[in-house]
Structure 1
Amino acid sequence: MRKRTPLVLLVVLALGALSILQACSGGSKDSGSGGKVKITWSVWGNPGEQQRLQEFTDDFNKRHDDIEAELAPIPGSYAEKIKTMLTGKTAPDVFYADDSLMPQLINNGLIENLSPYLENSSINPDDLYQGLMTPATKDGNVYAIPPDMNPMVLWYNKKVLADAGIAESPADLYEQGQWTWQKFQEMTDKIRASGKHGYIVDTWWAIYYTWVSGNGGTFYSDDSYVGVSDPKSVEAYKYLYDNIQAKNFTFANVLPSGQGSEAQFMNNLAGFLSSGRWVLPNFKTKEGLEFDVVPHPTNTGKKIEPGAIADAFVVMNADSKHKEAAWTFIEEFNNKEGQLFRLKDGGNAVPTMIGLDSLVEEGNLPEHARYFLDAGEVGYVYPDYLYPSVSDEVFTQFDRLIQKKDVSFEEAMKEADVNANKKLQELKAQ
């Protein structure tokens, strides 16, 4: 499932904040029917994702006479609402947390240490992709389980490419080791000339960082943030900036409300967008939409470079009054059977349990779905998870550069570098 970020958070079902506060409570009460324990759990996600999660919840309830789980999605500003709920003792028993939240949740004792529950359970932490676990562990203890992952890939609209006169397949170019920044720019130039968006640049860490690492750039060195001083990193931002100025790329923040990258793509108005597998439930139901995926192009001479993996974690509220029931739900949601249930038939993410890769390729939807696995094998989770607001200084300056246009590219990068490192030192001192 998609991490919403600093990882960007998707707006989900139109539930009011009041109803959420009423539904979610760390002090879940028995339902009153034969002593059945009621627990609540909360997530973010788009409607396609929500449907599958509700199906799992319903199936869980059918299999447990003594537990009733209620899915209570939280629309918009997810992280802030969860923190408010935790402070007010109204948070759900089980909830999703993105990696930027994990240090605060662990250090403040807001979530349960799951290590005792993992003993003799159906989840062996060694069977999970270990590269995903860094934000979830501290001092040898496990505080969260990654239920799935979303390596970032490029989705492309076959009709938009064909209408622009593009005969080459991005997937074929990737297989030939010719999927480069130059090739990508040539394609988006043709799409722009046809009157449509070549590529829409969504504004969150996973997009920016995937382009940076696709150029061999880096983010941290010793005690400093070098994400906008490292020459390779700066070159990646310049590539994005130049193509936005040329209108080959479209900066998502300038799109009309409700007409973001996914809507543009589904309406055959955009050739490319960066995303994980979470868009598949919506894309596959859009009549006439022809799409496929490919790893992001590189500028290093390598076929593929590391890119971002959007990751999330399932955690237990330390104040839950029904911890055994909450653990039962967490275990069954994240074990092999739970991942099979949630991710089969064109699910919304990639399994985190080793040995379930076939789930991604079933039905050839999309045709080159195996590229999710290619990207996952070399990808990385949020590099800023300990100090998530550091990179916000960079993204703020990039937004200023594109929208306000009151600074030069060089000035914006210099100011971003100064502000990011100032913020880093402030956070380290706290």
Structure 2
Amino acid sequence: MRQWNKAVRKAILAAMALLLAAGCSSSSSSGGSTEGERVQLTMQAWGNPAELKVYQKALDAFTKENPQIHVKLVPVPGDQYEQKLLTSLQGNRGPDVFYSSEPTMARLIEAGQVQPLSEFLQSEESYVQADEFPEGLWGPARKDGEIYGLPPDVNPFVIYYNKKVFQEAGVKSPQHYYDEGRWNWEAFREVTGQLKAAGKQGYIMENWWAHWYSWVWSNGGRIFDEQGKLVLNENEPAKEAFGFMHDLVQDGNAVYSGSLPKGQGADAMFMSGQVGMLAAGRWLEPLFTQNKSIEFDYIAFPSNTGKKEPVAVPGAYFAVNSKNPHVKEAMKFVSFYVSRQGQEIRLADGGNALAAIPAADEAILSKSTIEHTSYLSEARDDGYTHGSNMAYDAQIPGLNPDITEIIDLMLLGKQDAKTTVARVTETIAAALK
């Protein structure tokens, strides 16, 4: 009887131990989890369907090298992205790793929601080191010497043009004007006006920092000087650029994306042959390349200065949620994703950006099938040289959205360019104080 009781007690204790072990292994946050010896991470990112396939290449390659870590891609539409990310991080339900835009990065650092990365980048566990990136790329991702986000790639701004739309409308291509040395604002007005007369939209005007900075910079203008001083209100080329954007939309040579019916985006209009040109980085290339019904190419932004001018070089940051339970594994994945190896895996075949690490250039650019991909690399290099790949206002939490709202009124025709420049200047000046 005593032996039976002893056996029962052993069985009960063994069962309790199993239950306790099961409870420990299943406890996790809503982000990463542990399945036995395997760590499960979540990665949140924006992007069209073609871009998501590009991201997945790196996830698969990382898991192949690190089978004990699995990363699940969680896509979120771009127009909902920032709000969903901020809400989830505030509620401790955020993803383990995630893409962040430049303006959002400053807010996340201020709120203590992103993991410092500098120490890890110096360790043997990291696939990349900080000095592999050009100095001008850090922007708001580095504060007081500490790195909080890593550039996965960069996307210098160019103008896409639909060759078929130009041919069917009987309009000379932008490349024709460029070869003649006449690709300036007058030529831009000319071709957009001719496309309009042929029943097409000439250009899609969008409203976020990379667009307005590209028009300002490509005209030789500045919103801030090299020291970060606000100079917009006294810089004539910059004020001319605001007037040019305003007039393009009000004269009907361009249509403002903010006035389009819900669900009608710039990329869809381009692919359906409704519009001749739009501005973007390389992220639209995979989507357009898969659509065999269109023929497109790149052209640089038109300039009135007679020389090459910088344009925006948008670049997201890849960051780690400081509150996720598997920070070490998350940092290891992030370092792989942005490393030379990770960039080559993602960007060489049908990639959606250019390399943020110059050493990866050859493998990526040599496989591009678009005729004038060189305009992308030239725009990126000019951006690095002039230090213009980052807008100073993006480093001030909350300022960039305020500027966007002011420019929205101008593009909707509710405010003229002069008033817009004055209000943007006042808003930035107040934020700087």
TM-score range, shorter chain: 0.7 to 0.9
TM-aligned CA deviation for residue 191 of structure 1: 0.8
1:411 aligns with 2:419: yes
User: Match of 2:105?
Assistant: 102
User: Match of 2:406?
Assistant: 397
Distance 1:359 1:263, change over 3 A: farther
Q: Is the 8 A contact 2:347 2:354 kept in 1?
A: yes
Distance 1:413 1:150, change over 3 A: same
TM-aligned CA deviation for residue 43 of structure 1: 0.9
TM-aligned CA deviation for residue 298 of structure 1: 0.6
1:85 aligns with 2:93: no
Identity across matched positions, percent? 35
In 2, Cα distance between the equivalents of 1:148 and 1:328?
A: 17
Give per-residue Cα distances to partners, 1:213-247, cap 9 Å, x unaligned.
Answer: 11111112578644355221111011122222221
Distance 1:270 1:333, change over 3 A: same
TM-aligned CA deviation for residue 292 of structure 1: 0.2
Distance 1:184 1:360, change over 3 A: farther
Runs of 4+ deviating beyond 6 Å: none
In 2, Cα distance between the equivalents of 1:122 and 1:224?
A: 37
Matches within 5 A, 1:36-51: 36-51=38-53
User: Match of 1:267?
Assistant: 272
Structure 2, unmatched stretches of 5+, are 1-27, 384-388
Distance 1:236 1:193, change over 3 A: same
Q: Is the 8 A contact 1:309 1:382 kept in 2?
A: no
Distance 1:25 1:347, change over 3 A: farther
| Deviating more after overlay: 130-139 vs 278-287 | 130-139
In 2, Cα distance between the equivalents of 1:369 and 1:297?
A: 17
Q: Is the 8 A contact 2:250 2:413 kept in 1?
A: no
Q: Supply the AA of the counterpart residue of 2:90.
A: T
Q: TM-score, normalised by structure 1?
A: 0.86
Matches within 5 A, 1:315-394: 315-379=319-383, 380-387=389-396, 389-394=398-403
Q: Supply the AA of the counterpart residue of 2:193.
A: D
In 2, Cα distance between the equivalents of 1:202 and 1:341?
A: 31
In 2, Cα distance between the equivalents of 1:229 and 1:259?
A: 37
Distance 1:383 1:279, change over 3 A: same
Matches within 5 A, 1:287-298: 287-298=292-303
User: Match of 1:174?
Assistant: 178
Q: TM-score, normalised by structure 2?
A: 0.85
Q: Supply the AA of the counterpart residue of 2:399.
A: V
Secondary structure of 1:341's aligned partner: helix
Aligned residues: 397
Q: Is the 8 A contact 2:344 2:364 kept in 1?
A: no
Q: Larger helix proportion, structure 1 or 2?
A: 2
TM-aligned CA deviation for residue 249 of structure 1: 1.3
Distance 1:414 1:64, change over 3 A: closer
Distance 1:420 1:140, change over 3 A: closer
Distance 1:415 1:313, change over 3 A: closer
Structure 1, unmatched stretches of 5+, are 1-23
Q: Supply the AA of the counterpart residue of 2:412.
A: Q
Question: Higher Cα Rg: structure 1 or 2?
Answer: 2
Q: Supply the AA of the counterpart residue of 2:425.
A: D
In 1, Cα distance between the equivalents of 2:216 and 2:115?
A: 35
TM-aligned CA deviation for residue 27 of structure 1: 5.3
1:124 aligns with 2:129: yes
In 1, Cα distance between the equivalents of 2:322 and 2:217?
A: 37
TM-aligned CA deviation for residue 388 of structure 1: 5.1
